[in-house]
Structure 1
Amino acid sequence: MIHYPAIDPIIFAIGPFAVRWYGLMYVLGFTAAYLLVRRQAKQFGWQQMLEQLDNLNLALIVGVILGGRFGYVLFYNLPYYLEHPQHIFATWEGGMSFHGGVIGVLLAGLLFCGRTKLDFWKTADSYTVTVPIGLGLGRIGNFLNGELYGRVTEVPWSMVFPGGGELPRHPSQLYEALLEGLVLFCILWPLRAKPWIKQWPHGSLLALFLILYGTFRWLIEFFREPDPQLGLLLFGLSMGQLLCAAMIAAGLLLYGILRKQQQNT
């Protein structure tokens, strides 16, 4: 067993204002996405995207935050929030859903691109290859907060988390940071520049992301402690696994549709 490095989730505080590690990870993730999308736009000569990038980034940030919050309310704790609707927007109490964030950011992107006449699929691909950075950082933030820990285990690298009782658990946040963050980035980022990728229809990298992330997360959920208010659901799977199964199916369906459209043009 490895000693859990209990780190204060607050970096510093000035009166009621506090800067937290988890919030910093969000900022770093959004900043990395902005800079890397800007780099791609310059590299490939997407002048219109460069002109709209600041407003687009703001719209996507709003989309991912609102989608993440409403996704958590809907997927993970709807009965509670129906009884306590005043807490729906209390994000400081915790509760964000990645799958809800995906829906929110896609809707925000669709609306923004439709209004500005940006190519949605090209825009989606350019952002998709940067997303794993934010995912990896976010999971490190979860680890520092001592939240979303894994199931009880006896593996040598297990840890006792402050909120997880006295038994050692999988540091599943680090598994997710590795697979959903580092590994996924190492797949998607180089792939965008491969000459043969130009033969794929725009939107294919988004479809691939949905499939790969869904697969990685589905596997890691076997090591992650299910949400206490839900436990295990259909076929002994967690809510995260059920949502990931839908995510994988959506990715496969999306690629099939895009490929068919490409063949018909």
Structure 2
Amino acid sequence: MNNEKKHVEQVVSHIPLPACPEILIKIDELIASTSFDFGELSALIKKDVALSAGLIKLSNSPLYCLQKNASIPVALQMIGAQQVAYYARAFLLQSAVSQGASITRFWDSSWRVAEMSANIARLLYRQKADEIFTFGLFRDVGIAVLMNHYSNYKEILGLANNDPDNAFTEHENREYSVNHAQIGAFIAEDWHLPDYFVAAIQCHHTPDDVTKLPLSIPDSDRARELIAVAQLAEHAVQLSTGLSQTHEWSKLKGFCMDSLQLSEQETTALISAGIAA
């Protein structure tokens, strides 16, 4: 894996990647401070238009259902400081990788998967779903990066989406010697996300590879859960909207059911409940 990382570093050195924003570092430092204050956090977040807009959109979504046009202080109190640290990464990433109609459609699709991931996580675990929401929005960021950088990427993306047999990332590897999952993992690590989160992004099309990474058992299990919930969510979104159809569910259905310990009947019920939520 060290050789793979060195190879990815060499390839992505020629591809513009979103740098970790300074405001994110300040948010992390503030939340970790013993003198943490919501007012100071609110003032900091208000300085970034994209981050403020993302948190307001989230607070008005079915995930939190605050009153329409809730203020940043109200949204922060409802969402919670630790959760905001995750959501901030998602919204700042969306702002950092944004260019053209195709990228707008990409983020719209990613937002739907992120929301569905959060719905399914709450049904499964009955807990706040900040991490899985962020994973749903973050996991495919490499697609947006490659789309911005390579003029023929839409063609390669089409081939990957329509391949029922081979791993999605094989088409990207053949064309660019790197794939969107590797790029996403590289960005996630630079943006100070946990090792298991980085691993889940790196392996979300090849989940058996998680076992090849130097993760502890709890972290390995969590990486598998993130992959499985997001893949289940993507399938639910495709069923409910008919958009962005791929063959990934047929390839990864068994892995998802095993990782989440779901029967066929439970999986079908969970998908229906997630769509209805």
Q: TM-score, normalised by structure 2?
A: 0.32
- Which structure has the bigger radius of gyration? 1
Q: Which has a greater percent of helix?
A: 2
Q: TM-score, normalised by structure 1?
A: 0.33
Greater relative contact order, per chain length (Cα 8 Å cut-off, separation 6+): 1
